[in-house]
């Protein structure tokens, strides 16, 4: 497990991920967040050794000081947490994640351990867990693969192979089937056009192809949906969705719902929603994880951990806009204890 290499890749990724003017790039700290719309931002006056000592103190003796752990872990960027892990190993001679794992339990432990991982490592870990043992958590495969960029998927593929000794494509192929499997395999190739070029004539043709593959015929030719939705760039697809509405008189999402079912319907809807607005997609996933009786903690944790320093501000504002309540109030009413406390910190206030 070559973590040093991962950290270098990750820090390079965080440097170039943000669309900053070239003259500003050298001002961007190596410890900064990987996105610029997160609730978790780089801690000022950062001292990895002091943080490592605080965490050690929180675990020493009888009982654990969970508040001290939250104070450090929830208020440092992923890059800063990697430095804390190094400092902890140097000063204590043990692995920080291992120590925290043995001290903590339940959902709170899952959040803390997730926060200590590099983003692609966490995604790979979540995908692996979704496919381990009997049954598959299709929602996890969909949430991650439908929303990540080409670069993110390439890195997840590399990490997965290194950590688990097999390709992610092999794992997904062995655990899913039919057209759902084919869509995931297509997404795993990280072959989406990421330019912003829109070919108007092609957009009209794509809309017609999808219409003729679905609404206009008996049965559905799902491959046509795959070809357009998994390969075309975002701006082009937004144009396709407009043209589709003109041709069919229906929103593309309504057509997918009426033409498909199960995991295939879920993955195509997720792709369309992420193309329209990732923040709104994640807001809806969070809402569904908490509404009604019980909480789907796996979804709540995965989104709060993975989006905290990327676009949590946008997710919160979409949540409020769509559901008329704050994400903060939903989390507060649906969780408890230290688990609630750390999620509220990641949520970043009302």
- Over residues 34-56, the mean pLDDT reads 96
The alpha carbon of residue 143 and the mean position of all alpha carbons in its chain are separated, in whole angstroms, by 7
The domains of the chain, with CATH numbers, are 47-104 (1.10.220.10), 119-189 (1.10.220.10), 200-276 (1.10.220.10), 278-347 (1.10.220.10)
Radius of gyration in angstroms for the set of CA atoms belonging to the chain, rounded to a whole number: 21
Q: What is the pLDDT of residues 265-314, one digit of tens each?
A: 999 999 999 999 999 999 999 999 999 888 899 999 999 999 999 999 99
Helix axes 119-131, 150-164, angle to 10 degrees: 60
Q: What is the pLDDT of residues 72-130, one digit of tens each?
A: 999 999 999 999 999 999 999 999 999 999 999 999 999 999 999 999 999 999 999 99
In this prediction, residue 61 carries a pLDDT of: 81
Cα–Cα distance, 341 to 66 (Å, whole number): 10
Between the alpha carbon of residue 249 and those of residues 11, 242, 244, 254, the distances in Å are: 46, 10, 8, 10
Q: What is the pLDDT of residues 10-32, one digit of tens each?
A: 555 554 444 333 333 333 578 99
Cα–Cα distance, 14 to 282 (Å, whole number): 21
CA dihedral 254, 259, 265, 268 (to 10 degrees): -70
What band does 205 get if pLDDT is binned at 50, 70 and 90?
Answer: very high
Q: What is the pLDDT of residues 232-243, one digit of tens each?
A: 999 999 999 999
pTM confidence score: 0.90
In this prediction, residue 236 carries a pLDDT of: 98
- Mean pLDDT (the chain) is 92
Cα–Cα distance, 329 to 299 (Å, whole number): 17
Q: What is the pLDDT of residues 148-200, one digit of tens each?
A: 999 999 999 999 999 999 999 999 999 999 999 999 999 999 999 999 999 99
pLDDT at 135 over 90: no
């Amino acid at each position: 497990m070559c973590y040093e290499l991962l950290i270098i890749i990750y820090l390079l990724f965080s440097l170039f991920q943000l669309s900053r003017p070239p003259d500003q790039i050298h001002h961007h700290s190596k410890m900064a967040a990987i996105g610029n719309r997160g609730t978790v931002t780089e801690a000022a006056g950062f001292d990895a050794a002091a943080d490592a000592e605080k965490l050690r103190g929180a675990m020493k003796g009888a009982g654990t000081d969970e508040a001290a752990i939250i104070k450090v872990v929830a208020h440092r960027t992923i890059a800063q947490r990697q430095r804390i892990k190094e400092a902890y190993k140097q000063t204590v001679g043990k692995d920080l994640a291992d120590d925290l794992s043995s001290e903590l339990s339940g959902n709170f432990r899952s959040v803390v351990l997730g926060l200590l991982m590099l983003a692609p490592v966490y995604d790979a870990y979540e995908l692996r867990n979704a496919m381990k043992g009997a049954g598959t958590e299709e929602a996890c495969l969909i949430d991650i693969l439908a929303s990540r960029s080409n670069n993110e998927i390439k890195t997840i593929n590399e990490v997965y192979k290194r950590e688990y000794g097999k390709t992610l494509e092999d794992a997904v192929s062995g655990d899913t089937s039919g057209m759902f499997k084919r869509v995931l395999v297509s997404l795993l190739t990280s072959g989406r056009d990421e330019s912003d070029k829109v070919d108007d004539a092609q957009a009209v043709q794509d809309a017609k192809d999808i219409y003729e593959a679905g609404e206009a015929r008996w049965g559905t030719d799902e491959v046509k949906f795959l070809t357009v939705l998994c390969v075309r760039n975002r701006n082009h697809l937004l144009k396709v969705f407009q043209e589709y509405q003109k041709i069919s008189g229906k929103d593309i999402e309504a057509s997918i719902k009426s033409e498909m079912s199960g995991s295939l319907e879920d993955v195509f809807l997720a792709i369309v929603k992420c193309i329209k607005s990732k923040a709104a997609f994640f807001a809806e996933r969070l809402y569904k994880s908490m509404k009604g009786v019980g909480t789907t903690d796996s979804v709540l944790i995965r989104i709060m951990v993975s989006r905290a320093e990327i676009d949590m501000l946008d997710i919160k504002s979409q949540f409020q806009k769509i559901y008329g309540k704050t994400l903060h109030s939903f989390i507060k009413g649906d969780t408890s204890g230290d688990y609630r406390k750390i999620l509220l910190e990641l949520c970043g206030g009302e």
